[in-house]
Amino acid sequence: MADPRPFLPSDPNTLPCTYTPLPNGANPDGGAPETRKRHLKELLAIFSGLLMVSLLVVIISGKEPNSHNASNKHEPLFLAKQPHTARPEKLRPVSRGVPAGVSEKMNRLAGDVDTPVFPWNNSMLSWQRTAFHFQPEKNWMNDPNGPLFYKGWYHFFYQYNPNKAVWGDIVWGHAVSKDLIHWLHLPLAMVADQWYDINGVWTGSATILPDGKIVMLYTGSTNESVQVQNLAYPADHSDPLLLNWVKYSGNPVLVPPPGIGYKDFRDPTTAWFTSEGKWRITIGSKLNKTGISLVYDTKDFKTYELLNGVLHAVPGTGMWECVDFYPVSKTSDKGLDTSVNGPDVKHVVKASLDDDRNDYYAFGTYDEKTGKWVPDNEKIDVGIGIRYDYGKFYASKTFYDQNKGRRVLWGWIGESDSESADVQKGWASLQGIPRTVLFDQKTGSNLLQWPVEEIEKLRLSSKDFNKVEVKAGSVVPLQVGTATQVCAFSVLIYILC
C-alpha cells in the first residue's frame, strides 16, 4: 500500500526497521542534523512534483481547441503562450480524371507542398524507357483501344495526350506492327474536334464485318462532359495502314439511357453477331454502387435497341469501365471469334473497376435470347474474384487475331512513378507485352495467359532442360550461364508452368 503521507517526515520511532535508530539530532560525522537533510529532500520532491504538474498543464492546454487563439489573463506567466501562426493548408494537385468521369493515374504527388522532390536528371530517367513494351515516343498514354489485324498489319490505338505527360486532352494515338513487338508510329487516328468528343476521344473497340470492313465505336466526352457513344470508320478500306478515319455525321449514336449518370456510360465493346442477324454490344456503367453492363442490339451501328435488364451486375463493385466480353473454347487451344457460341464454349466477362483500378474476370454461361450472362461461381464473380494480373495492369482489351487463330490480351501499365517524375521524363505509362489467353482445362475457372509467341524472336540463345524433376517446395539449380533478368525470368516461367 502506498504511503498516504509521501511528503511528510516519517517518525522512525513508530516505524519498524532492521537497524538501530540514531539518537534524535545525532550525527556520527558531526554534520548537520538528519532532519535538515530530510527537509531538503522533501523540498526537492515538492518542487519536482510542481514542475511535472506545470508541464502537464502546458501539454493539455496546447491540445485544447483554439488554445493558440485565446489567452487567459489570470494565467501564470510561466504558462503564458507565445503568439502562434496557423500552418498553411496543405495544397494538393488538382484531380483531372475523376471529375471528368474517367480514370487517371492514382500515384499523383499528393504530399505537402514543401515535400522535397528527388532531383531526377535525364541520365537517371532515360534508362526507364523500355525496349519492347509498347509506349509512345513522348507524353501520356493509357487505355488500349480497338486493336485488330488488318491486311497484314497489327493495328494498335491508344488513349493519348499529345501535349503533356499527364492525363488530359485525350485523342487516339495509332501504331502498326508486323509482329506485335516492333512498332511504327503513325499520325493520330482521331482527335477531339467535334462537340460530341471535344472533351476527349475516349476508349472504344473495333469490329470487323463479314465483308472485311471495319467499324469503330468509341466514347466521346461532349462539350457538356456527357459521355456518349460515337461511330467512326476508315476513310479508305483499301489502305492497309488505315491512316485516315471518318466520324459518322449522325454522331452520337447512343446517349445515356434514363437512370444512368451522364458520366457513367462508357467504353463500348467489340460487337458480336446474333442468330437473329443483329449485332450486339455491351457498355459499362453503374447503379449506385452496383457495377453493370448494359446491352444493345443494332443492325447498322447507327440505330440501337436497349435490351431489358443487363448482361450482368455485381453489387458493391462500383463503376464498370472497359468491359470485355468474349468466348473461349473448353476443348481447343485456339482462340475464338467474338461471335462464336455453342456447348463447348465458355464466355468471359471482364470489368475494370474504377474504384480500385484492377481488372477482374469470371467464366459463365451466356444466354443469347435473354442477353444475360450467369457466372459459374458467384463466389468468384466479376469484381470479387480473379484478376488478370496482380501488379499494375488495367483497362485491358482483347481482340481475336484471325491471322493466327488466337485471342490476344492488351493491358495498360500505369507504372509507379509520381506525376512529377513523369513530367520530368516527358512520358508516362506503357503497355504490357501482348498475351494469348486460353481456357484452363485443369481448373475450369482460370485463364491461361502467355506472352505472344513473337517474343521468342528476341532471344539470342536458349537452353533446353528435359526430365527435370521439380518437387513441391524444392529449389533446382540450372546451369544457364550468364543470363539477363529477362532470360532468367523466362527460365523461371518454364519451370513453374
Question: How many other C-beta atoms can be found within 10 angstroms of the C-beta atom of residue 390?
Answer: 8
> Which residue from 176, 138, 145 is spatially nearest to 159, judged by alpha carbons?
145
Q: Put the strands of the sheet holding 427-428 in their side by side order.
A: 183-190, 171-177, 153-161, 139-150, 427-428
| DSSP secondary structure string for all residues of 121-187 | -HHHHHTTS-SSS---SSEEEEEEEEEEEETTEEEEEEEEESS-SSS-S-EEEEEEESSSSSEEEEE
Residue with the three cell numbers 473495333 = 206
Whether residue 252 has a cis bond before it, omega within 30° of 0 = yes
Residue with the three cell numbers 467474338 = 338
User: Measured on CA atoms in the order 334, 338, 342, 347, is the torsion positive or negative?
Assistant: positive
Report which secondary-structure segment, H or E, holds 211. Answer: none
CA distance 156 to 131: 17
Measured between alpha carbons, how far is residue 336 from residues 126, 169, 376 in Å? 40, 35, 20
437, 447 Cβ separation under 8 angstroms: yes
**367 catalytic residue (yes or no):** no
User: Measured on CA atoms in the order 267, 175, 200, 103, is the torsion positive or negative?
Assistant: positive
Among 143, 354, 359, 417, the one annotated catalytic: 143
| DSSP secondary structure string for all residues of 237-298 | TT-TT---EEE-TT--SB-PPTTS-TTS-B-PPPPEE-TTS-EEEEEEEEETTEEEEEEEEE
Residue 479: CB partners within 8 Å, gap ≥ 6?
Answer: none
* Three-state DSSP class for residue 64: coil
Residue with the three cell numbers 517446395 = 473
382, 90 Cβ separation under 8 angstroms: no
Rounded to 5°, angle at Cα 472 from 468 and 474: 65
| Per-position b or e across 356-366, b if 16+ CB within 10 A of its CB | ebbbbbbbbeb
In one letter, which amino acid is 422? D
Strand partners for 148: 155
In one letter, which amino acid is 65? P
For strands 279-287 and 290-298, give the pairing: antiparallel
Number of DSSP helices (H) and strands (E) in the chain, helices first: 5, 24
* Three-state DSSP class for residue 280: strand
Active-site amino acid positions: 143
